Each structure stands twice: as structure tokens, then as C-alpha cells.
Amino acid sequence: MIENTNAAGLIRRALLEAPSLGEGLRVTLLLAMAGQAVTVVTPIVLQMILDGEILDPAGVDMNGVLRMSAVALAAVVVGVVVGRISLLRLVRTSSTGLSDLRIKTFDHIMRQTVLHVQSDRRGNLLSRVTSDITTLQEFMEWGGVGMIIASSQVLLATAVMMFYEWRLALIALVGVLIYLFMMRWFQTILARNYDAVREEVGASLGVLSESITAIPIVRAYGTEESTKAKVAEALEQRFQVEYKTARFGNILFSTAEIFAGVLTAVLVVAGVLIGARLGMSAGTLVAFLLLTNLLIEPLQILVETLEFAQSAASGLRRVVEVLDGEIEVRDPDDAEPLRPGGLSASFEHVSYSYTGGEAVLTDITVDIPVGSRVAVVGETGSGKTTFAKLLVRLMDPDSGTIRIGGVPARKIRLAELRERVAFVPQEGFLFDDTIANNVRYGAIDADDAEIWTAFHELGLGEWVQGLPDGLQTQAGERGGNLSAGERQLVALVRAWIGSPDLLVLDEATSAVDPALDVALRHAIDKLTEGRTSVTIAHRLSTAQSADEVLVFDQGHLVERGQHRDLVVCDGVYAALYADWAAGTKSV
């Protein structure tokens, strides 16, 4: 965590990341202030007309009234134009700056490993580039504007009051300050209640969304009534807390309204008593009362925007924290090129542990020669997947060295590494696009013919032809139009089309049916002839055909060798294989 807590520091940091955010800010503020002069025009013109004409014992001179009104109207028009210019400037800079900040944050997150190492944090990180930035945006454009307008109004009204009669102005100011503190105080009292409300809102939504998600279970088990009762109770509880808080807040804030009335009364009394002695005019006192109103309304806005500002600041803090996060896997400064042709791989005393400290892989040393087919087996949690991710440099080890084609992985340009080494994760993730475009993630320039070829090479041509729109079939959100097995097929082709020199598969066919799985295996073996392939396998038929099997157990490489040798040893592999053989035995 970065103790970057003060607002100025945060803002400086944000400006550093997105300089467009602060362009011409000073001029904008000055213009906003000038534009706000509009609102103090009316008390002044009223005072002038009252004292100069209406209450003039000599009677009303309409020329005088018109002259004063003309000046006032001109001031209003100027204020409108200037105000408009300042707001436009503000809107432009904030939208541009925040868009830049959003893109920068997205880019930074994508460069980190957190998305695939700590996948439970994805939701949080998503908020960084969506709701946090939106909060900032809304603050800048509604709250920020309100704040600038309100504080300009307060300053201007105060200045005019001081000009009229400083003693009365002081009374008004003291009153307004008390009012401000009252509002702030109420806000803090309420903040605690709002926490309770937020908690209830979260809890009720949790229960509600769980129940909706579980509708198939509810139906299958006939628990409709108890589900409804549970949800109704949570919603009722939320409503009660919300309502109680609203009632309490309303009463608190209405006292502020009474205070404003009292302040007006005090000003009338004081104005009359002091004014009589100082020779203050009735028009001036009336202007004072109007100006007091002009003070109170923006204060309400200010207090509300303070809350807004706080949530915007914590949003910004979270964004800055992300930007401060280290990018673990970086492009090397002194890159070494890979030789063309097949790629070997090696681990030398490699260890890796998660940030929590738990070791996932301990002291792994292994050589994978060019052109060999290696199978990696082990129980869930044995470290197989971590091995694969380190091998393709999705993460870097804590200690030890990994080499690809004899070059330390940290010295290979990432773009080159990705081009030569393909990794297919188990999940078979597809984007909401056509099958063809999904495959193009593996080779941006591939045309439809090349994509067809790739499917045919893996023996999947018939499958694609069977799809409603062939290559143009929409995969749907997260590939939802296809089954889990079918998604894996596309993911496999996507990796294959880049014709990698080192292919790493992490249970990439776990969801396809046995007959197809075996057929795919044959196709891959044939195609990778002469290239290197590493397969994390939970189906041990893969291990049987491999040149070498690596057996992992609790983060250690415990056995290695060929299937026929390992299966006769009384070890981890033999046990795994026995279970597998029992499961596949049909007679």
C-alpha cells in the first residue's frame, strides 16, 4: 500500500500520469469566478433602485431605473458568456484527462501478472477503469463545477457584503460559518448511518442475486417458499435501515433550515438596531438579506460536494495504487535474439511462491531438448500449471533461471517470445466475436483460407463446417454459444495458427469427448514433429505417448522418465496411472 494519502499528492500524481488533466486550469478557475458575478447583480440593483428611486422622497425617475437595469443586464450577459467559456474549458480538460488516465491504468493492469495470478482481484481491478474513473468524471463535471461555482458565489457575496457594511457582514459570516459547521457535523453523524445502509444494501443484493442465480437449484429442490422468505426478509431489513436513516437525516438537515431563518431574523434585528445609528439605508439591509440567501444555498452544495470529493479522492487513490503497482514481467533492456528453428527449454534451480509466501514450486531443474514431447502430470495443486506459466514467461520465478533456446527468458523480447512460443490455457477463453476473429488473436493477419487450413490440419474442418455460420459463427459472450469442449478446439487452433516453435498446452482438451481427444492428440503429435511440445495432462494417455514424463507432487519434480519405466516403479506416477487405468477400463 502506498501512503499517498493527502489530496495534493494524489492530484500531483494524477497530473503526472495524465498531464492533459491540468491544462489551463488556472484560467478556467478565474473565468468561472467572473461568470459567477451574475448572481450578485440582483441584490445590488435592487438596493440601488430602492434607495435611489423608490424610496427617494423626490419620487421615481424612470430614466435612472432604466440606466441601472441596463448596466445590470449587461453584467448578466457578460457573466453568462464568461461562465459558459469556463465550463466548456473544464469539461474538455477533465474528459480528455480522465480518458487518458483510464487508458493508462488499463494498460498498466494488462502489463501486470495480477489478472491471471490473483484472478479473484479481477472484479476490483475492473472497478479501477470503470466506476472509479466514472466517479472522478462525475465529480469533475458535476461536483467540481458545483464546487467552483459555489465557492465563487460565497467569495463574491461576502465581498459585496463587506463593501456595504462590514459589521453586519461579520455577523452574517459568523452565522454562515456556524451553519457550515452544523452541516458538516450532521454529515459526519450521518456518514456512520450511511455505512450501515451500504452494508444492508450489499447484503440484500447478495441474497437477491444469489437467489436469482440459483433459480435452477430452487426449482430442482422445490425450495421456492423458503427462498422467497429469505429474500423478503433481507429486503425488508434494508428498507427499514434506509428509511430510518432518511428520517434521521431529514430531521437533522431541517434544523439547518431553521438556523437559516434565525440568521435572517438576527440580521434584521441587528441591521435595524446598528443601521439606525450608522445611517444604513433600508435598501442596503434588504440587499444584505438577499446576499445571505446567496451564501447559504452554495454552502449546502459545498457540503454535499465535500462528500462527493471524498469518494472521488478515494477512487483516485485506488487508481494511483494500481499505477504504483510493479510490472513484474518486463521487456529486457539488453535483449538477446532467439535463433530460428526449434526451441529447447530449461529450468535451473527454479522456485516460485505466491505473494502469501506459500511455495508453489521448489528447486526445479529440468532440460527439455529441441523436438521432444514432454508430458507433465500430477494432482491438482502440485504446481503443474505454475510450471507452464513460468515456462512461457507469464510470470518470473523468485529464484533460478529459465532458458528458452539457450537464452535466459528474461533477456528475450516479449513480442518475440510470444511469437515463437504458444501457450494454450485450460479455460479456452473466447471473445464475443466470430470464430475467425477469435483465431486471429493468434495471427492478426491470417485470412479466412489460412484459418480454414489450420482447422483442417487439426482434423476439425468438419466440425467448423457443421457450425451454423462456419467461421463466421458468433462465439457469444465468453464463447457462450459453444460448449466448453468446442471452445477449447478454437483456442487450440488459435495457438496453432501462429506455428509456434514451442507449444505449451495446459489441459487444453480436458472438456472434449474421449474419442475426439485422442484424435486431436494424434493430429498435434504429427504437426509438432520436429518442434518442442510440453503438455500438462490430466488424461494419462498423453503421458503414455510422450518422450518424457515429468511428475510433480506438492511443488517438487519427483519423478521423470518414460511412461513404461515410471509405471513399473512404485511411485507417484504408478499410482496416478493405476487410478486412470481403472477409470478407463471398459471391461
Residues 462-501 that bind other proteins (CB under 8 A): 477-478, 483, 485-486, 491, 494-495, 498
Instruction: Say how far residue 283 (Cα) sits from the centre of its chain.
Output: 56
- Sole binder of other proteins in the list 269, 327, 568, 569 (CB under 8 A): 269
Contact call for residue 297 and other proteins (CB under 8 A): yes
Residue 137: CB minimum distance to other proteins, A: 7
Contact call for residue 198 and other proteins (CB under 8 A): no
Contact call for residue 442 and other proteins (CB under 8 A): yes
- Sole binder of other proteins in the list 54, 177, 178, 569 (CB under 8 A): 54
Cβ neighbours of 558 (radius 10 Å): 15
Contact call for residue 80 and other proteins (CB under 8 A): yes
Q: Is 555 helix (H, G, I), strand (E, B) or coil?
A: coil
- Sole binder of other proteins in the list 1, 26, 58, 261 (CB under 8 A): 261
Residue 481: CB minimum distance to other proteins, A: 11
Please list every residue from 220 through 249 that binds other proteins, using CB under 8 A: 220-228, 230-232, 235-236, 238-239, 242-243, 246-247
Q: How far is the C-alpha of 276 from the C-alpha of 266, rounded, in Å? A: 15
Residue 302: CB minimum distance to other proteins, A: 14
- Sole binder of other proteins in the list 33, 34, 129, 407 (CB under 8 A): 129
Query: Is the CB of 7 or the CB of 265 nearer to other proteins?
Result: 265
Q: How far is the C-alpha of 25 from the C-alpha of 191, rounded, in Å? A: 31
Closest alpha carbon to 386 in 148, 420, 378, 546? 378
b/e 484-522 (16+ beta carbons within 10 angstroms → b): eebbbbbbbbbbbbbbbbbbbbbbbbbbbeeebbbebbe
Closest alpha carbon to 375 in 552, 495, 152, 501? 552
Taken in order 143, 144, 148, 151, the sign of the CA dihedral is positive
Please list every residue from 135 through 194 that binds other proteins, using CB under 8 A: 137, 141, 145
Q: How far is the C-alpha of 110 from the C-alpha of 399, rounded, in Å? A: 24
- Sole binder of other proteins in the list 6, 130, 365, 465 (CB under 8 A): 130
Q: How far is the C-alpha of 43 from the C-alpha of 33, rounded, in Å? A: 18
Contact call for residue 79 and other proteins (CB under 8 A): yes
Query: Is the CB of 58 or the CB of 258 nearer to other proteins?
Result: 258
- Sole binder of other proteins in the list 15, 25, 162, 214 (CB under 8 A): 214
Under rule CB under 8 A, how many of the chain's residues touch other proteins? 169
Contact call for residue 397 and other proteins (CB under 8 A): no
Contact call for residue 295 and other proteins (CB under 8 A): no
Contact call for residue 126 and other proteins (CB under 8 A): yes
Query: Is the CB of 66 or the CB of 177 nearer to other proteins?
Result: 66
Residue 120: CB minimum distance to other proteins, A: 7
Cβ neighbours of 443 (radius 10 Å): 18
Report the number of secondary-structure helices (H) and strands (E) in the chain: 22, 10
- Sole binder of other proteins in the list 5, 6, 209, 465 (CB under 8 A): 209
Place of cell 458535476: 142
Query: Is the CB of 394 or the CB of 558 nearer to other proteins?
Result: 394
Contact call for residue 282 and other proteins (CB under 8 A): yes
Residue 287: CB minimum distance to other proteins, A: 10
Query: Is the CB of 158 or the CB of 385 nearer to other proteins?
Result: 385
Cell numbers found for residue 466: 457443421
Cell numbers found for residue 350: 527454479
Residue 405: CB minimum distance to other proteins, A: 17
Contact call for residue 134 and other proteins (CB under 8 A): yes
Residues 6+ apart with CB under 8 A from 473: 434, 435, 467, 481
Residue 500 near residue 418, CB atoms below 8 Å: no
- Sole binder of other proteins in the list 30, 174, 196, 215 (CB under 8 A): 215
Query: Is the CB of 102 or the CB of 403 nearer to other proteins?
Result: 102
Q: Helices (DSSP H) in 214-352: which residue ranges?
A: 215-221, 224-278, 282-324
Contact call for residue 111 and other proteins (CB under 8 A): yes
Place of cell 449546502: 300
Question: What are the Cα distances from residue 540, in Å, to 371, 574, 580?
Answer: 21, 11, 7
> Sheet holding 502-506: strands in order across?
421-424, 502-506, 532-536, 373-378, 548-553, 556-561
Residue 191 near residue 183, CB atoms below 8 Å: no
Given the rule CB under 8 A, which of 11-19, 32-40, 159-167, 363-371 is the region that contacts other proteins? 32-40
Contact call for residue 545 and other proteins (CB under 8 A): yes
Contact call for residue 281 and other proteins (CB under 8 A): yes
Query: Is the CB of 52 or the CB of 400 nearer to other proteins?
Result: 52
Residue 254: CB minimum distance to other proteins, A: 4
Residue 478: CB minimum distance to other proteins, A: 7
Binding mask 405-434 for other proteins (x = CB under 8 A): ---------xx-xxx--xxxx-x-xxxx--
- Sole binder of other proteins in the list 2, 7, 60, 327 (CB under 8 A): 60
Q: Is 337 exposed, middle or buried (0-12, 13-18, 19+ CB in 10 A)?
A: exposed
Closest alpha carbon to 431 in 485, 479, 489, 486? 479
Given the rule CB under 8 A, which of 164-172, 219-227, 336-344, 404-412 is the region that contacts other proteins? 219-227
Please list every residue from 90 through 109 that binds other proteins, using CB under 8 A: 91-92, 95-96, 98-99, 102-103, 106-107, 109
Q: Which long-range contacts does 173-180 make (Cβ < 8 Å, 24+ apart)?
A: 175/259, 175/263, 175/266, 175/267, 175/292, 176/263, 176/292, 176/295, 176/296, 176/299, 178/259, 179/256, 179/259, 179/260, 179/263, 179/296, 179/299, 180/299, 180/302, 180/303
Cα end-to-end span (Å), the chain: 60
- Sole binder of other proteins in the list 212, 327, 568, 569 (CB under 8 A): 212
Cell numbers found for residue 219: 426449482
